[in-house]
Structure 1
């Protein structure tokens, strides 16, 4: 979750040039590995939805990890 938030913050800073940074077209590169394998399956989405889908893909992995932890976590 911390890595996703950090990558999302870096995306916003690089995309919009916040805090005096230059705009960087590769600002979202840190979101790609966090969203695997879902980002590889997004080719059929319409072009305007691709940045949003890539930014939200890591949420799928976080939800799966949370569900697995609830299902197979220790029982007291």
Structure 2
């Protein structure tokens, strides 16, 4: 079951990064949108909230936080 959860989360993570980059750089004729990273925030909980509490607010935190959760899911899968 953890294998499926890992791959589903990984798919959502890649899709969210693609939407984020499309909105930031205006790829495919899309208007530039500062809220395009909103889909990364729920995937990165609770690390996004912890980073916000200690004063780390950047796009790098929003992109890296789901990677931490992905690493935890990978660890649980291989355990």
TM-score band by shorter chain is: 0.7 to 0.9
Higher helix share: 2
Paired with 1:40 and 1:10, the residues of 2 have a C-alpha distance of 21
**1:16 aligned to 2:22?**
no
Deviation at 1:46, TM superposition (A): 4.7
Taking structure 1 as reference, are residues 69 and 53 closer, same or farther at Cα in structure 2, changes over 3 Å only? Answer: same
Deviation at 1:54, TM superposition (A): 1.0
Aligned length: 69
Larger CA Rg, structure 1 vs 2: 1
Where in structure 1 do 4 or more consecutive aligned residues deviate above 4 Å?
none
TM-score, with normalisation over the residues of structure 1? 0.84
CA root-mean-square deviation: 1.1
TM-score, with normalisation over the residues of structure 2? 0.81
User: 19, 25, 36: which is aligned to 1:27?
Assistant: 36
Paired with 1:32 and 1:46, the residues of 2 have a C-alpha distance of 14
Q: Tell me, which stretches of 5 or more residues in structure 1 are unaligned?
A: 72-76
Please give the per-residue CA displacement for 1:2-57, whole angstroms capped at 9, x wherever unaligned. Answer: 1000000000000111111001110000000000110001122455xx21011110
